Amino acid sequence: MSRELKCRSCGEPALRPFLSLGNTPLADALVLPERVDEPEGRFPLDVAFCTGCSLVQILEEVPPEQLFVDNYLYFSSFSDELLRHSREHALGLIDQRELGPESLVVELASNDGYLLRNFADKGIAVAGVDPAPDQAEAAEAAGIPTIKEFFGPELARRMRADLGPADVIIANNVMAHVPDLNGFVEGMSLLIADDGLITVENPYVRELIRHCEFDTIYHEHFCYFSCTAVDALVRRHGLFLNHVEFFPDLHGGTLRWHIGPREDVSDVAAQYLDQERRDGLDTFEYFAAFAERVDRIRAGLVDQLRQLRGDGATIAAYGAAAKGSTLLNYMGIGTDLVDFVVDRNVHKQGRLMPGVHIPVRDTSALLEEQPDYVLMLAWNFKDEILSQQAEYRRRGGKFIVPIPNPEIL
């Protein structure tokens, strides 16, 4: 249900909508073929800017149990690039923080243990938190203790009492996914040690706007963060945004915010905050023209696919990604244009894309069927996928990268 227009962070009735992507199905709720005739939930996907604290957020609030517990199919370990990035992050923290057997590292949204295993392999005590049952089970099977609950102040207090304060808390691609944003941050402030470090990674809203990454908007992502919005959010809970790292190629442009209970703001963090003020990320005007740009992409891509199809070309897609679901549904791209989607995630194979019901197959289908074109829905892993599909391309197959402007490779 659409909630009263109050900001999820500061609580002010100061939200100004700037984009509507229509009523869309849940992006990760891939459909079992035998249930294709059952009604699929569709929810408004409208995005607003808070003129009080600069947080960009969607207006609809789908219950997190429906998003992340009932049949959540996302497993982090299906991307080599993400595994490499995570390992580098872990080894860097072990070195910089001089972590050892007496240390405690907690990851919020630990998924299948893809990141914490880098700490556990070094004998460092770890605790994962993830309510998604299948992912938590996979983590436990890999020897990563995982608490199958949503994180908040109450769980933070229990964890601190049972395990002690955390030397490091890692929260990658989760702070954007929590409806109770203040409860989540308060929980981190309760669990972190006085000299501890919290690292939070999320896509950077500046990159979403710059590269028109509208497809990264879906109901799992309640918020889309700038440094300005994160700074206001954490200070409300006695925490400080002390440093920022930028990863331009991860998920379309990701920031890693270094947050702690002691104020020690680096020059880099100060520069990000200052640059955002100069660029206007704390104003509605920065976001006002985005909808128009999104519609231009829609018109261009759909026309291009229709023209290729009309010329007799065969078209498939790569990546049964949540972003792919947003793009296909917003653009109305179905089996009239795309025959099938391929994906390495075995839990997604054999299902149908939400809403448009395009079948998902194993990536081997690209060589079996050799479609003329493949729409790259998981464009954020472009290099990894192009390298992996060198044989398909050698045989003359071409990829269409839809964002920021349709490009044929």
Residues that bind ligand DWN (CB under 6 A): 74, 78-79, 173, 220, 251, 319-323, 343-345, 348, 363, 378, 380-381, 384-385, 388
From the CB of 374, what's the least distance to ligand DWN, in Å? 12
Closest CB to ligand DWN among residues 10, 181: 181
Q: What is the strand order of the sheet 341-342 is part of?
A: 360-361, 341-342, 315-318, 373-376, 398-401, 407-408
Whether the CB-CB separation of 48 and 224 falls below 8 Å is answered with no
Structure tokens at 159: 């964890």
Whether the CB-CB separation of 198 and 246 falls below 8 Å is answered with no
User: Looking at residue 3, what DSSP letter applies?
Assistant: P
From the CB of 345, what's the least distance to ligand DWN, in Å? 4
From the CB of 52, what's the least distance to ligand DWN, in Å? 25
From the CB of 393, what's the least distance to ligand DWN, in Å? 14
Distance, in Å, from the CA atom of 203 to the CA atom of 214, rounded to the nearest integer, reads 12
Structure tokens at 232: 């206001």
Q: How far is CA 325 from the centre of its chain?
A: 13
From the CB of 385, what's the least distance to ligand DWN, in Å? 5
Closest CB to ligand DWN among residues 8, 348: 348
Closest CB to ligand DWN among residues 118, 345: 345
From the CB of 278, what's the least distance to ligand DWN, in Å? 29
DSSP, residue by residue, 194-218: EEEEEEEEEEBHHHHHHTT-GGG--
Whether the CB-CB separation of 138 and 112 falls below 8 Å is answered with yes
Sign, CA dihedral 265-235-89-123, equals positive
